[in-house]
Structure 1
Amino acid sequence: MKALRRFTVRAHLPQRLAALERLSINLRWSWDKPTQDLFESIDPELWKLVDGDPVAILGQVSPARLEALAGDDAFVHRLEELAAELDNYLTRPLWYQQLGADRQGGKDPVLPNGIAYFSMEFGVAEVLPNYSGGLGILAGDHLKSASDLGLPLIAVGLYYRSGYFRQSLSADGWQHENYPSLDAQGLPLRLLTDASGEAVLISLALPDGAQLYARIWVAQVGRIPLLLLDSDIPENDHDLRSVTDRLYGGDQDHRIKQEILAGIGGVRAIRAFTEIEGLPAPEVFHMNEGHAGFLGTERIRELIEAGLDFDTALTVVRSSTVFTTHTPVPAGIDRFPVEMVERYFGPDPGGVGSRLLPGVPLERILAFGAEDDATKFNMAHMGLRLAQRANGVSLLHGRVSREMFNDLWPGFDPAEVPIGSITNGVHAPTWAAPQWLELGRELIGSEDLSSLQEPETWERLHEVDPGHLWWIRSQLREALVHDVRDRLHRSWLERGAAEAELGWIATAFDPNVLTIGFARRVPTYKRLTLMLRDPDRLTKLLLDKERPLQLIVAGKSHPADEGGKALIQQVVRFADRAEVRHRIAFLPDYDMSMARTLYHGCDVWLNNPLRPLEACGTSGMKSALNGGLNLSIRDGWWDEWFDGENGWEIPTADGLADENRRDDLEAAALYDLLERAVAPKFYDRDERGVPTRWVEMVRHTLQVLGPKVLASRMVRDYTQNYYLPAARALRQSIEPGASGDAEHAMAFGAARELAEYRQRVEKVWPQIRILEVDSSGLPDTPLLGSELTLTARVCLEGLRPDEVTVQAVLGRVDAGDALVDPVTLPMTHVGAAEGGQDVFTASTPLPVTGPVGYTVRVLPHHRLLAGDNEWGLVALAG
Structure 2
Amino acid sequence: MFASIDPRLWLQTGQDPVALLGAVTPARLDELATDEGFLNGLDQLAADLADYVNRPMWFQEADASSLPTGIAYFSMEFGVAEVLPNYSGGLGILAGDHLKSASDLGLPLTAVGLCYRSGYFRQSLTTDGWQHENYPSLDPQGLPLRLLADDAGAPVLVELAMPDAKVLRARVWVAQVGRIPLLLLDSDIPENEHDLRNVTDRLYGGDQEHRIKQELLAGIGGVRAIRAFTAIEGRPAPDVFHMNEGHAGFLGVERIREYVCEQQVDFDTALTLVRSATVFTTHTPVPAGIDRFPVEMVKRYFGDDGPTGLLPGVPVDRVLAFGTEDDPSKFNMAHMGLRLAQRANGVSLLHGRVSRTMFDELWPGFDPSEVPIGSITNGVHGPTWAAPQWLQLGRELAGSTEALREPSVWQRLQQVDTGHIWWIRSQLRAALVEDVRARLRRSWLERGASEAELGWIATAFDPNALTIGFARRVPTYKRLTLMLRDQARLEALLLDEDKPLQLIVAGKSHPADDAGKALIQQIVKFADRPEVRHRIAFLPDYDMSMARQLYWGCDVWLNNPLRPLEACGTSGMKSALNGGLNLSIRDGWWDEWYDGENGWEIPTADGLADEGRRDDLEAAALYDLLEDAVTPRFYDRDDNGVPNRWVEMVRHTLQQLGPKVLASRMVRDYTEKYYAPAAQSFARTSAPVDGVPFGAARDLAAYRLRVSEAWPKIQITDVDSTGLPDTPLLGSELTLTAAVQLAGLKPDEVVVQAVLGRVDATDALQDPETVVMTHGGSGDAGTDIFTTTTPLPLAGLLGYTVRVLPHHRLLAGDNELGLVTLA
Q: Name the TM-score, length of structure 1 as normaliser.
A: 0.93
Shift in Å at residue 111 of structure 1? 1.9
Q: Distance in 2 between matches of 1:90 and 1:780?
A: 69
| 1:73-472 equivalences in 2 (<5 Å) | 73-100=36-63, 109-305=65-261, 306-347=263-304, 352=306, 355-444=309-398, 446=399, 448-472=400-424
The question of whether the paired residues in 1 share the 8 Å contact of 2:714 and 2:742 is answered with yes
| Structure-to-structure mapping, 1:607-646, within 5 angstroms | 607-646=559-598
Q: 2:541 aligns with which of 566, 589, 593?
A: 589
Matching residue of 1:19? none
- Residues 354 and 360, structure 1, Cα contact 8 Å, conserved in 2: no
Q: Which secondary structure state, in structure 2, belongs to the residue aligned with residue 486 of structure 1?
A: helix
- Cα deviation 1:165-215 (Å, max 9, x = unaligned): 000000110000000000111110000011111110000000000000000
Distance 2:77 2:48 in 1: 29
Equivalent runs, 1:778-789 vs 2, <5 Å: 778-789=724-735
For the Cα contact (< 8 Å) 2:168–2:196, is it kept in 1? yes
The offset of 1:110, in angstroms, is 4.5
Amino acid at match of 2:82: E
2:161–2:308 contact (8 Å) kept in structure 1: no
- SS of the equivalent of 2:739 reads strand
Kindly indicate whether the alpha-carbon contact (under 8 Å) linking 1:346 and 1:354 is maintained by their aligned counterparts in 2: no
- Contact persistence 2:185–2:218 (CA under 8 A): yes
- Secondary structure class of the residue paired with 1:827: strand
Find 1:65's aligned residue among 18, 28, 39: 28
For residues 473-552 of structure 1, what are the structure 2 equivalents within 5 Å?
473-552=425-504
Mark the runs of 5 or more structure 1 residues left unpaired by the alignment. Answer: 1-37, 104-108
Question: Partner residue of 1:16?
Answer: none
The amino acid of 1:221's aligned partner reads V
Aligned counterpart, 2:747:
801
Residue 824 (str. 1) matches residue 779 (str. 2):
no
For the residue of structure 2 that corresponds to 1:208, the secondary structure is coil
Task: Give the letter for the 1:772 counterpart.
Answer: D
Give the drift of 1:624: 0.1
Alpha-carbon shift at residue 779 of structure 1 (Å): 2.7
The alpha carbon displacement at 1:353 in A equals 6.1
Q: Quick one: which amino acid aligns to residue 293 of structure 2?
A: F
Q: How does 1:837-856 map to 2 (within 5 A)?
A: 837-856=783-802
| Deviation of 1:849 (Å) | 2.1
User: Structure 1 vs Structure 2: percent identity of aligned residues?
Assistant: 78
CA distance in 2, matches of 1:357, 1:747: 23
- Secondary structure, aligned partner of 1:198: coil
Q: Does 1:44 align with 2:7?
A: yes
Deviates more, 1:322-331 or 1:770-779: 770-779
Amino acid in the other structure paired with 2:565: L
CA distance in 1, matches of 2:397, 2:259: 53
Question: Structure 1 CA distance, aligned partners of 2:149 and 2:674?
Answer: 33
Query: Which range moves more in the overlay, 836-845 or 531-540?
Result: 836-845
Question: Alpha-carbon deviations, 1:633-668, whole Å to 9, x = none?
Answer: 000000010000000000000210000000000000
Q: Is the 8 A contact 2:471 2:507 kept in 1?
A: yes
Q: Secondary structure at the match of 2:404?
A: helix
What secondary structure is seen at the aligned counterpart in 2 of 1:213?
strand
Tell me the SS of whatever aligns to 1:339. Answer: helix
Q: What is the CA–CA distance in structure 2 between the aligned matches of 1:502 and 1:426, rounded to whole Å?
A: 37
For 1:792-813, what per-residue CA distance to the aligned partner results, in whole angstroms no more than 9, with x for missing partners?
0001011111100000000001
Structure 1 equivalent of residue 621 of structure 2:
669
Letter in 1 for 2:778: A
- How far 1:817 sits from its partner (Å)? 1.1
Give the counterpart letter for 1:65 in structure 2. Answer: R
Task: Describe the superposition over 1:289-342 as per-residue Cα deviations: whole angstroms up to 9, x where unpaired.
Answer: 000000000000000011110000000000000000000000000000000000
Q: Supply the distance in 2 between the matched residues of 1:209 and 1:706 (Cα, whole angstroms).
A: 55
In the alignment, the residues of structure 2 paired with residue 131 and residue 850 of structure 1 have an alpha-carbon distance, to the nearest angstrom, of 55
Q: Partner of 1:861 in structure 2?
A: 807
- Tell me, yes or no, if the aligned pair for 1:346 and 1:353 is still in contact at 8 Å: no
1:40-60 deviations in Å (ceiling 9; x for gaps): 000011011111111111010
Q: CA deviation at 1:780?
A: 3.3
- Matches of 1:416 and 1:624, distance apart in 2: 33
Please give the secondary structure, in 1, of the residue aligned with 2:788. Answer: strand
- Residues 354-363 or 572-581, more deviating: 354-363
Distance in structure 1 (CA, Å) of the matches to 2:238 and 2:785: 45
**1:347 Cα deviation after fit:** 1.4
How much has 1:754 moved relative to structure 2? 0.1
User: Counterparts of 1:852 and 1:392 in 2: how far apart (Å)?
Assistant: 33
Is contact 2:280–2:343 with CA below 8 Å preserved after alignment? yes
Q: Using the TM superposition, give the Cα deviation of residue 162 of structure 1 relative to its aligned residue in structure 2, in angstroms.
A: 0.3
Q: Give deviations 1:600-649, integer Å, cap 9, x for gaps.
A: 00000000000000000000000000000000000000001000000000
Q: How far apart are the structure 2 equivalents of 1:66 and 1:519?
A: 40
Q: Which amino acid aligns with 2:201?
A: D
Q: Deviations over 1:761-783 (max 9, x none)?
A: 00010000001000001233322
**Is the CA contact (8 Å cut-off) linking 1:345 and 1:354 kept in structure 2?**
no
Aligned to 1:651: 603
Q: CA deviation at 1:453?
A: 1.3
Is the alpha carbon distance of 1:354 and 1:640 closer, same or farther for their aligned partners in structure 2, counting shifts above 3 Å? farther
| Structure 2 gap ranges (5+) | none
C-alpha distance in 1 between matches for 2:725 and 2:624:
57
Q: What per-residue deviation string (whole Å, max 9, x for no partner) do you get for residues 402-436 of structure 1? A: 00001100000000000000000000000000000
Aligned residues: 822
Range with greater deviation from structure 2 (707-716 or 778-787): 778-787
Letter of the 1:137 partner, please give it: I
Q: Distance in 2 between matches of 1:605 and 1:154?
A: 34
Determine if contact 1:481/1:511 at 8 Å carries over to the other structure.
Answer: yes
SS of structure 2 residue aligned to 1:227:
strand
Structure-2 change in CA distance of 1:649 and 1:663 (3 Å): same
Name the CA distance, whole Å, in 2 between partners of 1:269 and 1:157. 10
Tell me how far 1:354 sits from its aligned partner. Answer: 6.7
Which amino acid in 2 is paired with 1:535?
A: Q
How far the C-alpha of 1:670 sits from its partner, in A, is 0.2
Deviations 1:364-390 (A, max 9, x none): 000000000000000000000000000
Distance 1:779 1:268 in 2: 65
SS in 2 for 1:517: strand
Q: Which residue of 1 aligns with 2:522?
A: 570
Say whether the 8 Å CA contact 1:792–1:856 is kept in structure 2.
Answer: yes
Deviation at 1:449, TM superposition (A): 1.2
